[in-house]
Structure 1
Amino acid sequence: MGSPMRTEPLPGETPLRVPGGPYSVVVLLRGYAEPEGAGGAVRADGSVTLVLPRAWAPAARPRSARPESVETEAALREAASGPILVDTGGPWAGEALLAALAGQGVGPGDVGLVVGTHGHSDHVGNLGLFPGALLLVSHDLCLPGGLYLPHALSEERPLRLGPGLEVWATPGHGGQRDVSVVVEGTALGTVVVAGDVFERHGDEESWQALSEDPVAQERSRRRVLAAADLVVPGHGAPFRVIRGGPRPCGPETRDMDAAAGH
């Protein structure tokens, strides 16, 4: 049998900064999803996360209007040398997003790469704020101006952006083309920005109803839990993945099978 594993929400408000080298992770806006009224309506917005290369600083040389290379791997490396935004929230959150970026010394023109974990409006509603960025939305990789680049992203083959920084194919919630961003080497270990692979901590009884492919999503959830020390879900507080030691029985802990949906 493997070591016991549990998950626990990480306390604290946004922005939540997790330092690291070569990349730090900043949860700029925490997503939410709350029922409203008696008709089944839900008011929601997605989490927004910033990945900052250690070598980048606000005073760094401004980026060119577009990556110089049209070769996929080179364009990704160039774009990822600057700030990377994972999801953008809904269009109603544009001002809050810009203010949160400014709080980190980042302007919209500084962002080199925007990753949209999936195509729902509460996760990619502000793409228009970043016309100079390379865009990876689900599995579509696009240079500024609408030039789409081929790539081989799959569950077996991640896209490598830099040392310890990858994009994984994590299908399920929105179909076959959802992605997550994996950042190794932070102060809290490996951080996985998972979009709606996990809606929130403790979503074991609800995620299946929101999934377009529950079988694939269960596989993605198990893969994320096996790799992550910290998960940034789509609509709630980040949560830690703690391995080894005794397994508490309190309501704030989950073992791997429960968190994956078994």
Structure 2
Amino acid sequence: MSSLVWTEPLRGDPPLLVPGDPYSVVVLLRGYAEPEGGNGAMRADGSVTLVLPQAWGPASSHREPPSGHGGAMTSLEEAARGPILVDTGGPWAREALLGALAGQGVAPGDVTLVVGTHGHSDHIGNLGLFPGAALLVLHDFCLPGGLYLPHGLGEECPLRLGPGLEVWATPGHGGQRDVSLVVAGTALGTVVVAGDVFEREGDEDSWQALSEDPVAQERSRKRVLGAADVVVPGHGAPFRVVREASQPETKGPGNSRENPAVED
């Protein structure tokens, strides 16, 4: 059985809350990319997303940061027990980011993990607001104070942060070390915060020109579309991924179903 896949806009203005158990997803700031002038210039900023563990509250925000003694995976799981920020926008969006966090009852010091999907300035321009957070920027993972820990992330080896919460290697747009955050179990299903794997919904006419490795990014895009119910792209509104299963073929006296596949 194969699946036909298409996308639809997810209506609503930021902050857009997708409740879940054990993690909720809040799109704090919607990214954009708009041509300016006639010389190819663009005015742009990246989406910023907050992931909140259901068990977290401001009263529980004061805890010791991970020590690193248990290794990268233990430290990642400890860091993921508090608010997680995926990308930070550009430095020009500093006040908007602080205001959006405050609107969710989160102070910069409450954030325990920042995930940077790739290294462009419109996505990691406010890392300095979170000196007390663990940082997973591309494939580099470090604890507060600059202790870097090896972890083995790869396309065939995601990093598990908690139940239904993973970091995937999704190379292509910025090179080989881009990442996405995958959140299962929300009210809308699996949400993938994808950075610039997808610039926006309906970006088929433009993403390749912005990609460092279009072959790898095409692979990442298919992987995300195969898993996600909602995608948070780097420069546009979140969108749904909709699948319609075709009828299974009839073979002899019984029916046989193949594994679902994504068709372009």
Global fold match (TM > 0.5): yes
Aligned partner of residue 244 in structure 1, secondary structure: strand
User: Distance between the aligned counterparts of 2:233 and 2:90, measured in 1?
Assistant: 16
Partner of 1:224: 224
Measured after TM superposition, the shift of residue 6 of structure 1 is 1.2
Q: Distance in 2 between matches of 1:3 and 1:238?
A: 21
1:76 and 2:96 are equivalent in the alignment: no
Runs of 4 or more, structure 1, over 2 Å off, are: none
Structure 2: which amino acid aligns with 1:67? P
Consecutive unaligned residues of structure 2, counting only runs of 5 or more, are 247-261
Q: Secondary structure, in 3 states, of the residue corresponding to 1:39?
A: coil
Cα displacement string for residues 213-252 of structure 1 (whole angstroms, at most 9, x for unaligned residues): 0000000000000000000000000000011169xxxxxx
Q: Do 1:199 and 1:235's aligned partners in 2 also have CA atoms closer than 8 Å?
A: yes
Structure 1 length-normalised TM? 0.92
C-alpha deviation, 1:21, in angstroms: 0.1
The reply to whether residue 92 of structure 1 matches residue 59 of structure 2 is: no
CA contact (8 A) 2:3 2:263 kept: no
Contact 1:190 1:230 (8 Å CA) reproduced: yes
CA distance in 2 between partners of 1:172 and 1:61 (Å): 35
Aligned to 1:204: 204
Partners of 2:155 and 2:140 lie apart in 1 by 15
**1:167-178 matches, cutoff 5 A:** 167-178=167-178
Q: Deviations over 1:52-101 (max 9, x none)?
A: 0000012224132x313331111101100000000000000011101100
Give the paired residue count.
248
The alignment yields a C-alpha RMSD, in angstroms, of 1.2
The TM-score, its normalising length taken from structure 2, stands at 0.92
SS, match of residue 8 in structure 2: strand
| Structure 1 unmatched ranges of 5 or more | 247-255
For residue 233 of structure 2, what is the aligned residue in structure 1? 233
Once the two structures are TM-superposed, the CA of residue 160 in structure 1 deviates from its matched residue by: 0.3
5 Å-filtered alignment, 1:125-144, equals: 125-144=125-144
8 Å CA contact 1:31–1:236 kept in 2: the answer is yes
1:252 maps to what in 2? none
Distance 2:183 2:61 in 1: 24
Q: Is the 8 A contact 1:63 1:112 kept in 2?
A: no
User: Which residue number in structure 2 is paired with residue 56 of structure 1?
Assistant: 56
Larger Rg: 2
Partner in structure 2 of residue 46 of structure 1? 46
1:146 and 1:3 map into 2 onto residues whose CA distance is 45
Paired amino acid for 2:87: D
Pair 1:67-2:69 in alignment:
no
CA contact (8 A) 2:66 2:79 kept: yes
